[in-house]
Structure 1
Amino acid sequence: MSGNLIIRERCFNWGQRTYLMGILNITPDSFSDGGDFNSTSAALAQAWAMVAAGVDIIDVGGQSTRPGAEQITLAAELERVVPVVELLRSEMTVPISVDTTRAAVAKAAINAGADIVNDISGGTFDPDMLPTVASLDVPIVLMHIKGTPQTMQQMTEYQDLFGEISSFLTQQINAATKAGVDLEKIIIDPGIGFAKNYEQNLEILRELRSLAAMNCPILVGTSRKSFIGRILNQPEPKARVWGTAAACCAAIANGADILRVHDVKEMREVSLVADALFRHS
Structure 2
Amino acid sequence: MTLKLGRREFDDDAMLMMAIVNRTPDSFFDKGATWAEDKALARVAQVVADGAEIVDIGGIKAAPGVEIDAAEEKTRVVDFVAQVRAEHPDLVISVDTWRAEVGRAVCEAGADVLNDAWGGADPELVDAAAEAGAAVICTHTGGATPRTRPFRVEYDDVVASAIADTMAYADRAVAAGVDPRSVVIDPAHDFGKNTFHSLEVTRRIGEMVDTGRPVLVSLSNKDFVGESLDLPVGERLVGTLAATALCAAAGARIYRVHQVVETRQTVDMVNTVLGRRRPARAIRGLQ
| TM-score bin, normalised by smaller chain | over 0.9
CA distance in 2, matches of 1:275, 1:160: 29
1:181 partnered with 2:178: yes
The alignment partner of 1:140 has SS state of strand
Structure 1 runs of 4+ aligned residues shifted over 3 Å read: 149-152
CA contact (8 A) 2:97 2:114 kept: yes
- Which residue does 2:68 correspond to in 1? 72
1:252 partnered with 2:251: no
- Which residue does 1:3 correspond to in 2? 2
Instruction: Tell me the TM-score normalized by structure 2.
Output: 0.91
- Which residue does 2:283 correspond to in 1? none
CA distance in 1, matches of 2:175, 2:22: 31
1:47 partnered with 2:44: yes
The amino acid that maps onto 2:239 is: G
Deviation at 1:158, TM superposition (A): 0.4
1:63 partnered with 2:60: yes
CA contact (8 A) 1:156 1:197 kept: yes
CA contact (8 A) 1:116 1:138 kept: yes
CA contact (8 A) 1:144 1:191 kept: yes
CA contact (8 A) 1:205 1:254 kept: no
Residue of structure 2 aligned with 1:136, choices 132, 135, 152: 132
CA contact (8 A) 2:209 2:250 kept: no
Superposition RMSD in Å? 1.6
Deviation at 1:215, TM superposition (A): 1.6
1:18 partnered with 2:11: no
Deviation at 1:84, TM superposition (A): 1.4
Residue pairs, 1:83-122, within 5 angstroms? 83-92=79-88, 93-122=90-119
Residue pairs, 1:262-281, within 5 angstroms? 262-278=258-274, 280=276
5+ residue gaps, structure 1: none
The alignment partner of 1:165 has SS state of helix
The amino acid that maps onto 1:268 is: R
The amino acid that maps onto 2:263 is: M
CA contact (8 A) 2:248 2:267 kept: yes
CA contact (8 A) 1:206 1:254 kept: no
Structure 1 stretch 143-152 or stretch 208-217: which is displaced more? Answer: 143-152
- Which residue does 1:35 correspond to in 2? 32
Residue of structure 1 aligned with 2:150, choices 144, 148, 153: 153
CA distance in 2, matches of 1:119, 1:168: 13
The alignment partner of 1:5 has SS state of strand
CA shift digits 1:10-65 (9 cap, x unpaired): 43112x23211000011112211231101110000000110111001000000111
The amino acid that maps onto 2:27 is: S
CA shift digits 1:162-199 (9 cap, x unpaired): 22111111221221122122221100000101011111
CA distance in 1, matches of 2:67, 2:252: 30
The alignment partner of 1:118 has SS state of strand
The amino acid that maps onto 2:189 is: I
Indicate the percent of aligned positions where both proteins have the same amino acid.
35
CA distance in 1, matches of 2:14, 2:181: 18
CA contact (8 A) 1:82 1:109 kept: yes
Cα 1:77–1:42, aligned 2, differ >3 Å: closer, same or farther?
A: same
CA shift digits 1:224-258 (9 cap, x unpaired): 011111222212x1221111111111110112101
Aligned residues: 275
5+ residue gaps, structure 2: 278-287
CA distance in 2, matches of 1:189, 1:178: 19
